[in-house]
Amino acid sequence: MRHGEIIIPVVVAVILMGAWVGRATEPTGSQVLFDFSPGFDTGVMATTDAKATVTADGTLRVETGHSAPWPGVTLKAPQGRWDLSAREHIALEVTNRGKERIALRCRVDNPGADGTKNCVADQITLEPGAAQPLTVRIFPVPWKLDQPLELVGMRGFPVHAGKIDTAQVTQLILFLDRPKTGAVFEVDNIRAGGRVQVLKTATFLPFIDELGQYVHSDWPGKTHSVEELTAQARVEDEDLKAHARPKSWNKYGGWADGPKLKATGFFTVHKYQRKWWLVDPAGKLFWSHGIDCVRAGNATPITNREQYFRRLPEADSPCGRFYGQAGWAPHGYYKDHAPYRTYDFTRANLLRKYGEDFEPVFSEVTHRRFESWAVNTIANWSDERIYLERRTPYTATISFEARRLEGSEGYWGKFYDVFDPSFQANLRTRMEQERGRTADDPWCLGYFVHNELAWGDDISLALATLISPPSQAAKVVFIDDLKDKYQTVEDLNEAWGTSHESWEALLQHQQAPDKAKARPDLEEFYTKTAETYFSTIRREIKRVASHQLYLGCRFAWVNDRAARAATKFCDVVSYNRYTYDVEDTKLPDGIDMPVIIGEFHFGALDRGMFHTGLRRTESQKDRADKYADYVRGALRNPYLVGTHWFQYLDQATTGRGDGENYQIGFVDICDRPYPEIVQAARAVGHSMYEYRLDE
């Protein structure tokens, strides 16, 4: 026992049996929904702009046209409905028999399904000849409450009912979404699988234990006691000793055994043998195999949710130091309940595991892990106390505030007014903080500035400018540009079909013009806005850190006009790409320059978590396989110079401020690495240089 904490029993066969009504009965294996063997009843099928036949091999072959918006086949439940209330998902095997890539969707319907209500769906993308399972989760988590219970502050959690009634599944629809060409695919082995456990709502609370884990389930790798927590540290130490960093790497993680290029003492970019590469300070080829959010902090809100937790520590206990207060909540329950109290189970577990001086130990272990896992980059959002030890190359994060463009909108907030003096001034102040730290540091690849901005469509920021108040700097600049072009407001009115009495009237006006009539001017000002954004940032970065790379703004939602502007001023263009495959990722118009993936992840629900994150997988093995496939696909892409996984730690089981509670870590809340994804990273990392060059 450490620090006077209560010991949790080491062996737990069934946790809190009082909450477990019993597992829903599941036959051995999966429940077959359609068998395309001889005798299959074709009367259950209906097609839309498609032809469906059963092959001699016992598969369903579908040949679609492309005149209908959603060509495909509907498969109706033979008896009118299936009762799948004991199941988590429906899965099928799909093979693309056509000559073009396809994105195939599977929709699972209740009565009254309309594409939005009373249905759930998912999709996969398949190259010609490729085969892959397509899985649709019909119940959100593997646990079902027997009565409704309001749970807040989480994206995923045990529920009484999901989006559809799984006892009333009437049909499946397999279709393409507005294809430009016809397609041919084959389907086999349509089955329902998984198992949903039913829990008593009356005894469900509390559902989080002293270590921050889900109470009502057990799984491989769950930590049952403080003794297990500390024992795991010894086990991992032996694992790290047994798996050394790749012998072919130099101290930066560059390819010591590979070609030698010009050594500048800093990271650069270079096109070598028709592929883009980073080049490390020693002049060796470098491909950035990285992980985001390398830090210990992982707080979860507890305000109005104290009953969720089995035994929060006393404030004056050793682990009481990890209470805090926060206000960040752009979405979800806590958006309207800020500020709120928090507790950080991860940091508490690190204290229990490594002792009072846990932070430098955690940093040391992290660098050792990265070497052993063949990961060579500490990526965005990470703790400078870790990366400034200068043992692992890193990217730095530049965030700053400035006046916003009032007429704009976006998921993470309004866009910046890049013409307002505060934009350049505040960026300059922020960059000055990097002198003597990351600026001119050979271990620093470069800077990401901002993240997932609201670029909208290719006229959105111009429209947002016009509907902003007259004090908006961008609006003044836009109107000055219009004055230069049209000379008189009457000429503008004629072009736009407006009736402004004066330029001042236009400045005061806060309604959008006709998009079609004003489009040329809107496009021109959008381009000016985007280019001003990127050029200003480049200038301020290079003023302080001339040797570091400008890595862009991590596009999530972006149009080609904004992307083209980025290519003029960034050294590397960055995208957050939450897909299963980035092999064909490229810039618009075939622009030839390096690209880096700033975020991607996959998650599964087989280790006590409630949400898979943005791309789901069926198990830790499946997650690891998809990780390896994603990174190898990126290695085959001649433009990509790295992939950065989001993130190092699982998010808290009960979520962060905006409710995200994703199973997306290399490491769980008890600082225990997931062996499957670690093994995948090692396999990819050890061979990535030879693989990329050979491919």
Q: Say yes or no: 518 and 617 in one domain.
A: no
Q: Say yes or no: 39 and 183 in one domain.
A: yes
pLDDT at 13 over 50: no
Q: Say yes or no: 507 and 562 in one domain.
A: no
**What is the extent of the structural domain holding 505?**
456-546
Q: From 546, 563, 598, give the residue that closes a domain.
A: 546
Identify the CA nearest to 653 among candidates 172, 101, 219: 219
pLDDT value at residue 39: 85
Within a domain: 4: no
Within a domain: 252: yes
- For the chain, the domain total comes to 3
For 51, residues 6+ apart whose C-beta sits below 8 A from its C-beta are 62, 63
Q: From 498, 530, 546, give the residue that closes a domain.
A: 546
Helices (H) and strands (E) in the chain, counts: 13, 28
Q: Say yes or no: 516 and 561 in one domain.
A: no
pLDDT band at residue 494 under the 50/70/90 scheme: very high
Identify the CA nearest to 156 among candidates 616, 675, 623: 616
Note the pLDDT tens digit of each residue in 356-392: 999 999 999 999 999 999 999 999 999 999 999 999 9
The single-letter DSSP state of residue 586 is: -
Q: From 526, 546, 566, give the residue that closes a domain.
A: 546
Q: Say yes or no: 102 and 40 in one domain.
A: yes
Rg (CA), the chain: 27
Identify the CA nearest to 298 among candidates 318, 331, 326: 326
Within a domain: 567: yes
Within a domain: 3: no
Q: Which residue has the higher pLDDT, 26 or 150?
A: 150
**Percent with pLDDT over 90 in the chain:** 93
Q: Say yes or no: 168 and 56 in one domain.
A: yes
Q: Say yes or no: 563 and 648 in one domain.
A: yes
Q: Say yes or no: 64 and 189 in one domain.
A: yes
Q: Are 434 and 396 in contact (CB under 8 A)?
A: yes
pLDDT at 12 over 80: no
pLDDT value at residue 38: 86
Q: Say yes or no: 190 and 243 in one domain.
A: no
Identify the CA nearest to 190 among candidates 206, 209, 207, 169: 169
The residue type at 92: L
DSSP line for 442-499: TTEEEEEES-S----STTHHHHHHHTS-TT-HHHHHHHHHHHHHHSSHHHHHHHHT--
pLDDT at 147 over 80: yes
Note the pLDDT tens digit of each residue in 78-110: 999 999 999 999 999 999 999 999 999 999 999
pLDDT at 11 over 90: no
Q: How far apart are CA 142 and CA 148, in angstroms?
A: 16
Within a domain: 678: yes
Q: Say yes or no: 524 and 569 in one domain.
A: no
pLDDT at 678 over 90: yes
Element (H, E) at 544: helix 515-544
The whole-number average pLDDT for the span 189-211 is: 97
291 in helix, strand or coil? strand
376 in helix, strand or coil? coil
Within a domain: 182: yes
DSSP line for 14-63: SS-GGGEEEEPP--SS-EEEE--STT--GGGEEEESEEEEE-TTS-EEEE
CATH code, domain carrying 566: 3.20.20.80
SS3 letters across 202-248? HHCCCCECCCCCECCCCCCCCCCCHHHHHHHHHHHHHHHHHCCCCCC
177 in helix, strand or coil? coil
pLDDT band at residue 163 under the 50/70/90 scheme: very high
Note the pLDDT tens digit of each residue in 569-627: 999 999 999 999 999 999 999 999 999 999 999 999 999 999 999 999 999 999 999 99
Q: Say yes or no: 559 and 541 in one domain.
A: no
Average pLDDT of the chain is 94
Q: How far apart are CA 576 and CA 412, in angstroms?
A: 14
pLDDT at 519 over 70: yes
CATH code, domain carrying 168: 2.60.120.430
Q: Say yes or no: 165 and 253 in one domain.
A: no
| Report field, pTM of the whole predicted structure over 0.95 | no
Q: How far apart are CA 112 and CA 110, in angstroms?
A: 6
Environment class of residue 508 by beta-carbon count within 10 Å: exposed (0-12), middle (13-18) or buried (19+)?
exposed
Within a domain: 438: no
The single-letter DSSP state of residue 187 is: E
Residue count of the chain, please give it. 695
pLDDT at 9 over 70: no
* Exposure b/e, 15-26, CB count within 10 A at least 16 = b: bbeebbeeeeeb
Note the pLDDT tens digit of each residue in 20-70: 333 333 334 689 999 898 889 989 999 999 999 999 999 999 999 999 999
Tokens representing 607 are 């280790």
Q: Are 122 and 137 in contact (CB under 8 A)?
A: yes
Within a domain: 633: yes
β-strand partners of 72: 48, 175
Q: Is the backbone of residue 420 left (phi > 0), alpha (psi -120 to 50) or beta?
A: beta
594 in helix, strand or coil? coil
The residue type at 326: A
Q: How many CA atoms lie within 13 A of 71 on its CB side?
A: 21
307 in helix, strand or coil? helix
pLDDT value at residue 311: 94
Q: Are 354 and 233 in contact (CB under 8 A)?
A: yes
**Percent with pLDDT over 70 in the chain:** 96
The single-letter DSSP state of residue 194 is: -
